[in-house]
Amino acid sequence: MTAANRLIQISIAVSILFYLTIFIDERVGFSDFSDPAFLMTHVVLEMTSIFIAISIAVQGWLFTRIGDNYKQLIFSSLFFAVGIFDILHILTVAGMPGSLMVEPSVTGWFWSVARITETILFIILMVELDSPLKLRGLKSMAAVLSIFYVTSISIFILLLQSELPMLVVDRRPTLLFNAGMALSTIVHLGILLYLLSLEKKGKTNSIEVGFIAPASIFLLFSTLVYSFTAITDWSATVSHVFKVAGYGFLFVLIFVRYGQRPFKEVEEISNTYERFLNSVGEGIYGIDFQGKVTFVNDSAVEMLGFRRDELVGRSSHPIIHHTKTDGSPYFMEECPICLAVETNDYSFVTDEVFWRKDGTNFPVEYFTQPLVSEGAAGTMVTFKDVTESEKLKRLEIQHQNIQYEVALAVTVQEALLKSTNTVPMAFDTGVVSIPFKELNGDFYTLVPDEEGVFVSIADVSGKGIPAAIQMTMMKFAMDQKESPQTVLARINKFSAHYMEQASFITMFCSYIDLASKTLHYASGGHEPVLVYQPAEKRFRELNPTGPVLGISEGLKFKSDSIQLAAGDLVVLFTDGLVERKKHTEDTNRLLREAVLRADLSLDAATLAQEIFAQVNALEPYAIEDDQTLIILKI
């Protein structure tokens, strides 16, 4: 059972009990009031109902706004008329102190007109009049029409008072009076049944049913009291009690529906703003003209480490903005936030700090915005913790410095490789070297002398700038034109002594004697060199054992040699060309296939490009390292 249904049942039960007391009074006669007592009771109850009626009217007029429906305005205006008619009823009651000298029938007519108007009110409550008010002057117009209505009816009754029929004769209602009350009773009963049916179907507001239905019940019994039975002191008292109760429910309804609405709207707006403030990531707080915090959002509370009650109502500057970045005191006269309160100016600051409750600080960017409302000045401060932004800025500066150094290293690399590529060779040479990133970790050089050519290829771990430095050192060592094993020993000693422990080099170093076509070579952990002999259609791998360079200074390297023949193809490469992380095998099979498929009649440069492309086309996995390929056609 809903609260509205429970309230309706209680109202019906109370009304029936009070109504039954009238019949008991008729038989027992316990309401033997003296005339003054009756008049006082009558006046108090009537004045109470009049006060409530006028309050309903005033409340409705005050709370009606542009955009509300017409029903509220009409309802309020007619209730004003009900209150005035009841006042005239009191003033025309015979024997009432200060009563008007009128015909006895007049007081009954004013009471009846008030009840008829009251019935019309309930009919209006049921009618759909949801068209919004659009004209600003309608409230004044409604008040004027209400006064006109009261005045017209009152003048009509007073002018025709001698001709108006009596509605009550010897305290018994006439047929005309009973007809009017019966009609009012039927209307109230119909309204009650209609509301209950709507409530059962869920088509109406339970608040409206919970107030309109009990009001209709009490006013229904208020009219029943005067119908078909003699009017006694007690029945009049009960009727007025019912009327006061009915008006009370309507007063509460108007207050709940319209009187509380502005406060609820303000509360909803306040809650909406609070949810909005708490949903943003930036800290936001407001200060008044004295610099005291008026509000603070959740993000600000979290960043500052204070509870909300430790900030609101207190001056913000001594708490969170008292010291500069360099540790010197920050006086309020210098603070842009404090100055913004005085000047109502906007400001944006990017290089200051706020202080947390635990005594630590954090860099902030903040924006001040003036808040001026009805002469009261204040400022809203929006700030964000830029600790991460500052880190990113520092990283960006470091990145720019590294990029500058990388550019220098690239320049060094390009100069080294360019000097190698421009040296005239005694045999056809082709080179392809593609860095995986900006800096190339692969190195190669060809240094001719009077009797032959020094040829080397290397792969430097770590890449980057250290690799460029090591390449410079390797170029210098190769330019000394010493034996392959001696070159490796010199580079190893330098790398082990001066470079990081995690840095190492793999290198294949060789010397080709042109007269004897002998290839002397030594390796420091590098990929084997392939020698393809077309005449015999076979490959030979040059894979002398030797440790990688840079691990220890005292390493020894051995050299070996092989006899070459005219037409032989010497293939030097780095591991990036033949290896991938996803490989299940670590061989140069694809490179051999590419050599066998290639047109060996091509010049070495073109042949190197073709073999390089063939290897990457045959390789199913993506490139993951620098790639270098050298082709020597003997």
pLDDT, position 230: 67
pLDDT, position 13: 87
pLDDT digits 0-9 by tens, 501-556: 667 889 999 999 988 999 999 999 999 999 999 988 899 999 877 899 988 888 88
In Å, how far from its chain's centre is CA 529? 63
Q: Which residues pair with 521 in a beta bridge?
A: 510, 560
Highest mean pLDDT among 28-42, 563-577, 614-628: 563-577
At 51, the pLDDT band (50, 70, 90 cuts) reads very high
**238 or 531, higher pLDDT:** 531
73 within a domain of the structure (yes/no): yes
Residue 364 has pLDDT above 70, yes or no: yes
At 382, the pLDDT band (50, 70, 90 cuts) reads very high
Residue 368 has pLDDT above 90, yes or no: yes
267 within a domain of the structure (yes/no): no
Same domain, 60 and 169: yes
Instruction: Give the CATH number for residue 293.
Output: 3.30.450.20
pLDDT, position 305: 94
161 within a domain of the structure (yes/no): yes
Residue 422 has pLDDT above 60, yes or no: no
Highest mean pLDDT among 38-52, 172-186, 192-206, 283-297: 283-297
Instruction: Give the CATH number for residue 237.
Output: 1.20.1070
Same domain, 344 and 481: no
Same domain, 88 and 161: yes
Residues 195-203 have a mean pLDDT of 71
Same domain, 114 and 184: yes
At 412, the pLDDT band (50, 70, 90 cuts) reads low
pLDDT, position 100: 64
Residue 1 has pLDDT above 60, yes or no: no
Percent of the chain with pLDDT over 70: 84
Which of 259, 287, 320 corresponds to the end of one domain?
A: 259
Same domain, 212 and 316: no
Query: 428, 426, 417: which is closest to 632 by C-alpha?
Result: 428
Angle, alpha carbons 406-631-407 (nearest 5°)? 10
16 within a domain of the structure (yes/no): no
Whether 612 and 432 have beta carbons less than 8 Å apart is answered as: yes
pLDDT digits 0-9 by tens, 88-116: 888 887 666 656 656 777 888 888 898 88
Same domain, 474 and 566: yes
Tell me what the pLDDT averaged over the chain comes to: 83
Residue 569 has pLDDT above 90, yes or no: yes
**How many C-beta atoms lie closer than 10 Å to residue 234's C-beta?**
21
**194 or 229, higher pLDDT:** 194
Which of 385, 413, 438 corresponds to the end of one domain?
A: 385
Residue 320 has pLDDT above 80, yes or no: yes
4 within a domain of the structure (yes/no): no
Report DSSP letters for 474-528, one per residue.
Answer: HHHHHHT---HHHHHHHHHHHHHHHS-TT--EEEEEEEEETTTTEEEEEEEBPPP
pLDDT, position 467: 64
Same domain, 381 and 433: no
Q: Helices 35-63 & 138-159, crossing angle to 10 degrees?
A: 150
Determine whether 358 is exposed, middle or buried from the number of CB atoms within 10 Å of its CB (0-12, 13-18, 19+).
exposed
Residue 129 has pLDDT above 60, yes or no: no
Whether 66 and 261 have beta carbons less than 8 Å apart is answered as: no
Same domain, 499 and 600: yes
Same domain, 284 and 240: no
Residues 356-365 have a mean pLDDT of 94
3-state secondary structure of 347: strand
Same domain, 370 and 304: yes
Same domain, 580 and 438: yes
Residue 68 has pLDDT above 70, yes or no: no
411 within a domain of the structure (yes/no): no
Q: Which residues pair with 539 in a beta bridge?
A: 532
Same domain, 250 and 293: no
Number of structural domains found in the chain: 3
Structural domain boundaries enclosing 66:
21-26+33-259
Residue 226 has pLDDT above 90, yes or no: no
| Amino acid code (one letter) for 342 | E
Structure tokens at 62: 């005050």
**69 or 532, higher pLDDT:** 532
Q: C-alpha dihedral over 193, 199, 204, 205, to 10 degrees?
A: 110
11 within a domain of the structure (yes/no): no
pLDDT digits 0-9 by tens, 432-491: 998 887 777 788 888 888 889 999 999 887 655 566 666 767 777 777 888 999 999 988
Instruction: Give the CATH number for residue 428.
Output: 3.60.40.10
341 within a domain of the structure (yes/no): yes
